[in-house]
A and B are shown apart, each in its own frame.
Chain A
Amino acid sequence: MTNHTNILAHRKLSMRPGQVVLYAAMLLLSFVMLAPIMLALFNSVKLENQILSANMTFFPRSIHLDNYQYILERSAKYGTYFKNSLVITLTSVALTLVFCSLGGYAFAKLPFKGRGLMLAIILFMMTFPLAVLLIPIYIMEYNLKLINTNIGLILPIVSTVVPFCLFIMRGVYMEVPDELEEAATIDGCSVFQTWLRIMLPAAKGGLAIIAIISFYNVWGEYMLSKTLVTRESAMTISVGVTLLKGEGGWQFGVLGAVVTIAMLPPIIMFMIFQKQLVSGVMSGAIKG
């Protein structure tokens, strides 16, 4: 502890001007990183002629909510996209939580024959580009008449997020001490009861992590959604946005508002759970 403070004190004395430069650079970079997000937000509160005019500005000169009002009152289409995204995302996150909280425990603490191989196969799948899997999935869903349905999107999307989340949960369960489990067994708990009453509460942090990771991955999913859905009634916002361009002339303000609303859910989730997310990505990736 004292050593550590010594280093810090030492550095502080020798690098003062450096720190100023460092913070200035970070400020500038922060602005660059946030500029695209801010642009969508700012354009969404401008009037149409303030976006396209020759004397455009980055920051809005005044705030108008006309574009949001337009979405609410005039366009059922955006509502459909959002509804689909919401239904698909929430269901997918729920399924991912169930599959990975169960599977992760087995891969961490319940050895059975072929377990290692099974885990290896699931992880190996992660390296294949979705383009290879997309064709058979499309044919399969075409034959089963699952194209243009929510469930037809949910299942393959969940299968793309499960491997990574499974791996994170395995890591989380492995860190739970064996003694906890043994104590439960001695108390007469069955494996299922041990999982439900002891392990699941102990792995709460991990569940939060995979909930966030699967949330933003599903919300932003593009490939499967673009391929397996052709009808507007089943489309999600991440694909729907890309089709909005032409409609009714170029309504940039409205587009800005749609993009802003579409970015909001993952951004809010991120703001709330940033710490867990960062540590979760770290643990998952490092053990991977």
Chain B
Amino acid sequence: MTTKGYQLSRRQRIKGRWGMLFVTPAFLLSTVFMVYPLLYSLYISFTRYNFAFDPSPTFIGLENYIKAFQDKAFLDSMQVTAIFSVLYFVFVMIGGLALALMLFYAKGRTGLFRTAFFLPIVVPLSLSSFIFNWMLQKNYGLVNYFLADILNMGHLTNEWLSTNPWAMISIVVVSVWGSVGFEAILFLNGLQALPGDMLEAGIVDGSRGFKTLYHIILPNLRETFVVTGIWAILQALKVFIVPSLVTWGGPGTATTVMYMYIYRQSFTYLDMGYGAALGFILSVIILGLSLLNMRLSKRS
């Protein structure tokens, strides 16, 4: 008995050593390109460090953070991000759920529709932004062509990318297009995990269609809502490629989101200390909202 116990623990120790060896490559890489940059970034966020002028960072305490909250352009970008996030969140969640429900309720073949819904996930955002920029142009864009020449509603055509609120709506649409399929996969997974007799119970009770959906299916998707919700929040706050390539942040600063502003401070003006501080403000918001979402969905 004791020998066996000894052997087991010895084997465990050997396994542990191999385990450490096995994680070393991944851990080294994460340390060099994530943990170290994160800590260094935290440090320079307390310094004045313009990469073009300053030979090395100078410690200035909280000055960058104080400056951030007095920086009107940054506060504006925060507001833009908030508006974008709310719109994106609502549409990607409703859209994702709707697509998933369609696939779930369809009784025939759905293979082709699945492919169509999910395909945009793998199209690089920089390419799809490029195409959408094309589609939304005033004179030769597909959207205006469709409105004027196909639907004969020329009065609805617009300069989508350079007028308010259409520029914002455009980047929401492009972002939702690119990621709604992913949300649909998550929702579909949640729906398929529901026990079959639960749905049957609803039918026996005489509640069908939307009633079953509202009273039985949605309340039981709580876990799925947490996952999809957090994912949508993270996506919304990190939005960068779409506004920088579809509307270039405009008109004016109407679609200049936080991420773009941070990027510009860091890599256009090379004000890296300030850029890092702004990055951490964004990180805190992201972490806070993710935690809040987890809390809320646990309680309800």
Interface residues of A (CB under 8 A from B): 3-4, 6-8, 10-12, 14-15, 18-19, 22-23, 25-27, 29-31, 33-37, 39-40, 51-52, 56, 58, 98-100, 102-103, 105-107, 109-113, 115, 118, 121-122, 125, 127-140, 155-156, 158-160, 162-163, 166, 185, 191-192, 195, 216, 219-223, 227, 238-239, 241-242, 252, 255, 259, 262-263, 266-267, 269-271, 274, 278, 281-282, 285-286, 288
- Cα A51 to Cα B135 in complex, Å, equals 12
> How many pairs of A and B residues are in contact by the CB < 8 Å rule?
285
Q: Give 28 pairs: A residue, B residue, CB < 8 Å, sorted on A.
A: A19-B108, A22-B106, A34-B119, A99-B29, A102-B25, A102-B26, A103-B22, A105-B22, A106-B18, A110-B15, A110-B19, A118-B23, A125-B38, A127-B287, A129-B238, A135-B272, A159-B33, A191-B15, A216-B124, A220-B126, A223-B241, A241-B127, A242-B245, A255-B130, A259-B130, A278-B118, A285-B186, A285-B231
Known A-B contacts: A25-B102, A129-B237, A238-B127. Give 19 more (CB < 8 A).
A7-B203, A26-B106, A27-B113, A30-B112, A51-B140, A105-B22, A106-B19, A106-B20, A106-B22, A121-B30, A122-B27, A131-B259, A135-B44, A139-B40, A159-B34, A162-B26, A191-B18, A242-B129, A271-B115
**Which of B36, B105, B182, B197 is the one whose CB lies under 8 Å from A22?**
B105
B213 CB-CB contact with A under 8 Å: no
Q: Is A263 within 8 A of B123, CB to CB?
A: yes
B186 partner residues in chain A, CB cutoff 8 A: 281-282, 285-286
Q: Nearest CB to that of B110 among chain A residues? A: A26
Which of B58-66, B155-163, B274-282 binds A? B274-282
Q: Are B267 and A227 in contact (CB under 8 A)?
A: yes
B71 to chain A, nearest CB (A): 16
Chain A residues touching B, majority SS: helix
The CA of A52 and the CA of B103, in the complex, are separated in Å by 38
- The answer to the question of B91 belonging to the interface, with a C-beta cut-off of 8 Å to chain A, is no
**B128 contacts A by Cβ under 8 Å:** yes
Interface residues on B, range: 35 or more
Determine the chain A residues whose CB is within 8 A of the CB of B295 once the complex forms.
none
Residues of chain A with a CB closer than 8 A to B114's CB: 274, 278
B199 within 8 A of partner (CB): yes
A156 touches B272 (CB 8 A): no
